[in-house]
């Protein structure tokens, strides 16, 4: 069996051979996935292994399938899109004196994989003895280039006192495991989604059977002599020798298919693996210089936040004209769809750490405006109705109470536009895409909002972030975010913010506090797998942060005392059946002085996938939770808020941390914030104006400003039906 080794600051190390039991193999394939936003390679072992989930994911390479309903209804989406496994070039079979190299046979004396977060490479080292007693040493390295979007490369070296035979493949339509039948959230899996178009010894060209997307995949090998054979679904390079064989393998992909795949492959092969690795390191050095988060006192969180930053970068760096999916390119979870958490979580982090990713991601949303306008017309609305789930733009979710009714996705997109422009001053983006996105999203709210007889504005029949409370009136998160969206285009429309005088708290939606209470005797989470939504919708039970999210994104709309009462009330009703919840609860817990609770929630988000036990982590990482680790640290303990184009900070540390330092990109400058137990220091390489504890501050290039922090006593956590696991700092 394998395990993730104790935390190291810049690498993730797996010790031992992964096995199929308990999802260990699948989880490792997600953790050790490499991607650049354009091309993604799951962390599969090189040799074929039937227990894994092969994954070569090309952003927006999908197949279509019809959606089936027990009863048809007007406006129900007729088809959906599912990401497919593209041509796989990772597969390398090895035989030693005629015996196949397979970790399930023989003796594994050593097996170690290392994901290097600064180098952007995955390295594997194996010492294995075959069933007949031949000792073998194997080392592999792989990367997916941040600099060359279409290119991936591998270096493979094997040594044994035996006859060696290697078959290195580029294969289309390899066999995939069946989808999980015990989980309705499991994604569809297409067996044989491609039809061949052409092939030769250089590249395979194929096409998806229904969505009609053509793909060219090119491969070549250097460093050893070999023979090549090809067929419509396979290019195989074979080499033999005795003692030691080392070679490099280069892959390039283009979709729609073009000869550029061969050109990109040839240039990469000419330059060699070492050059690609040097480029990778240089790219990441630049990224970490402006994005790193330093955490003193908690090695697990230090490793996890860098792991999260790295995987969010991998999801967005070269996404370009395509979206950033909820699982990035690490797995087929959510069918490869993009959801609202891209704008609310992922782009929030990238805006301040790598803003070059954000403009293209929002331009992708803009490119799908035609679909969003069509959907609005279909729903009888104005403007644009952006989809709950999609790959190329059309709505792909048939579950309308928590999909179509979740109109807040429009305001989430508008919020991301406003944040990006405030942080970068990118006026060209606003001219090309931003203004139109703001206008069309606002037009939807104009057609949805209405004013009652008392002159109060409302939005009725929507679902907020909490998917256990559907089709309610005046969801506060939706109303506040829509209000902000409208104000951005010059429309002031104060929307209703329901409040219970009896409970002295805001209502997540109108009437929420009058619903029956949920009886928290059932610990079978997530609840939607054991309770019908009819029961969940009727009770005061919250799947994920909703009003609490509103208090973070629109902190200006609540007083400190309102935040305290609201947080305590909803903490007692939130079960966190979504990975999106813990980071937000961490932020508000930190702001309100529940510092140990905030640390516990931070750990839950940061370690969700990295330390196992993750919710369906085997089908890909939770990219929003990866961003959530940054959110919990920077917006929680760093106290960052970003309202109306202005930064503000109110930092504080929990008992388990001695120091927190982070960098933010802001209007061409890099601002560094260093928080200690009794002070905070701001430095910058350019002039930045912000607020510290409500007071306006200006820091100039090369200047260092330090302010004392008043000590904050940790306030005990309020009651919760599902408190986070207490996080203890490892030594």
What residues are labeled active site? 467
C-alpha dihedral, 533 to 539 to 540 to 541, nearest 10°: -30
Q: How many CB atoms lie within 10 A of CB 623?
A: 29
SS (H, E, C) 349-382: HHHHHCHHHHHHHHHHHHHCHHHHHHHHHHCCCC
Cα separation, 556 vs 711, whole angstroms: 24
Peptide bond into 21 cis (omega under 30): no
Tell me the two tokens of residue 372: 């969003």
Tell me the two tokens of residue 255: 């979709």
Residue with tokens 């996890």: 304
Cα separation, 208 vs 213, whole angstroms: 5
Residue with tokens 């057609």: 447
> 209: which DSSP letter?
T
> 693: which DSSP letter?
T
Contact yes or no for 340/363 (Cβ under 8 A): no
Tell me the two tokens of residue 461: 């029949």
Cα separation, 570 vs 517, whole angstroms: 12
Contact yes or no for 265/219 (Cβ under 8 A): yes
Strand partners, 641: 648
Cα separation, 563 vs 540, whole angstroms: 19
Cα separation, 504 vs 476, whole angstroms: 15
Contact yes or no for 327/623 (Cβ under 8 A): yes
């Amino acid at each position: 069996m394998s395990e993730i080794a104790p935390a190291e600051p810049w690498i993730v190390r797996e010790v031992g051979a992964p096995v199929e039991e308990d999802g260990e193999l699948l989880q490792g394939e997600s953790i050790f996935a490499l991607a650049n936003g354009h091309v993604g390679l799951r962390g599969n072992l090189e040799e074929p292994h039937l227990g894994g989930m092969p994954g070569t994911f090309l952003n927006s390479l999908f197949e279509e399938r019809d959606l089936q309903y027990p009863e048809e209804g007007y406006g129900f989406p007729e088809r959906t899109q599912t990401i497919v496994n593209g041509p796989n070039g990772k597969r390398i079979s090895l035989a030693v004196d005629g015996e196949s190299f397979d970790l399930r046979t023989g003796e594994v004396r050593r097996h170690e994989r290392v994901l290097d977060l600064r180098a952007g490479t995955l390295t594997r080292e194996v010492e294995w003895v075959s069933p007949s007693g031949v000792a073998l040493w194997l080392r592999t390295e792989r990367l997916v280039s941040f600099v060359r979007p279409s290119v991936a490369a591998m270096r493979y070296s094997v040594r044994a006192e035996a006859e060696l035979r290697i078959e290195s493949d580029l294969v289309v339509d390899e066999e995939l495991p069946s989808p999980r039948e015990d989980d309705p959230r499991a994604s569809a899996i297409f067996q044989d989604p491609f039809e061949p178009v052409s092939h030769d010894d250089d590249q395979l060209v194929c096409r998806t059977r229904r969505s009609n997307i053509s793909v060219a995949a090119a491969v070549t090998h250097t460093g050893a002599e070999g023979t090549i054979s090809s067929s419509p679904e396979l290019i195989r390079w074979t080499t033999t020798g005795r003692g030691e064989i080392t070679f490099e393998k280069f892959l390039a992909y283009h979709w729609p298919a073009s000869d550029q795949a061969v050109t990109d492959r040839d240039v990469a092969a000419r330059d060699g693996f070492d050059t690609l690795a040097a480029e990778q390191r240089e790219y990441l050095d630049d990224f970490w210089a402006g994005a790193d988060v330093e955490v003193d006192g908690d090695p697990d969180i230090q490793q996890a936040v860098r792991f999260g930053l790295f995987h969010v970068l991998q999801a967005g760096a070269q996404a370009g004209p395509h979206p950033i999916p909820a699982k990035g390119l690490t797995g087929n979870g959510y069918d490869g769809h993009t959801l609202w958490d891209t704008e609310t979580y992922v782009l929030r982090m990238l805006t301040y750490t790598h803003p070059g990713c954000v403009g293209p991601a929002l331009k992708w949303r803009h490119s799908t405006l035609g679909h969003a306008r069509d959907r609005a017309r279909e729903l009888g609305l104005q403007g644009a109705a952006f989809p709950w789930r999609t790959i190329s733009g059309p709505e792909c979710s048939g579950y309308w109470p928590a999909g179509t009714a979740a109109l807040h996705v429009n305001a989430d997109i508008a919020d991301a536009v406003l944040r990006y422009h405030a942080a970068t001053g990118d006026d060209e983006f606003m001219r090309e895409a931003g203004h139109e996105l703001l206008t069309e999203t606002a037009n939807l709210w104009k057609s949805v909002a209405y004013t009652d007889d008392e002159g109060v504005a409302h939005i009725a029949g929507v679902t907020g972030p909490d998917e256990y409370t559907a089709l309610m009136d005046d969801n506060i998160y939706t109303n506040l975010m829509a209000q902000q969206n409208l104000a951005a285009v010059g429309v002031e429309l104060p929307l209703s913010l329901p409040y219970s005088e009896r409970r002295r708290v805001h209502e997540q939606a109108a009437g929420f506090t009058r619903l029956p209470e949920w009886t928290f005797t059932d610990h079978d989470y997530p609840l939607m797998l054991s309770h019908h939504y009819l029961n969940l919708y009727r009770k005061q039970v919250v799947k994920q942060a909703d009003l609490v999210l509103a208090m973070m994104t629109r902190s200006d709309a609540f007083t400190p005392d309102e935040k305290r009462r609201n947080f305590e009330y909803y903490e007692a009703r939130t079960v966190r059946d979504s990975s999106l919840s813990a980071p937000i609860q961490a932020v508000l817990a930190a702001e309100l002085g529940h510092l140990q609770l905030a640390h516990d929630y931070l750990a839950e988000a940061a370690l969700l996938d990295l330390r196992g036990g993750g919710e369906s982590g085997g089908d890909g990482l939770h990219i929003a939770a990866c961003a959530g680790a940054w959110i919990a640290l920077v917006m929680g303990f760093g106290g960052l808020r970003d309202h109306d184009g202005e930064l503000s900070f109110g930092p504080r540390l929990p008992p388990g941390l001695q120091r927190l330092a982070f960098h933010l990109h802001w209007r061409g400058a890099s601002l560094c914030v260093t928080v200690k137990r009794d002070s905070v220091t701001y430095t910058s390489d350019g002039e930045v104006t912000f607020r510290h504890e409500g007071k306006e501050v200006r820091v100039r290039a090369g200047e260092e400003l330090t302010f004392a922090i008043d000590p904050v006593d940790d306030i005990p956590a309020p009651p919760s039906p599902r408190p986070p696991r207490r996080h203890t700092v490892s030594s």
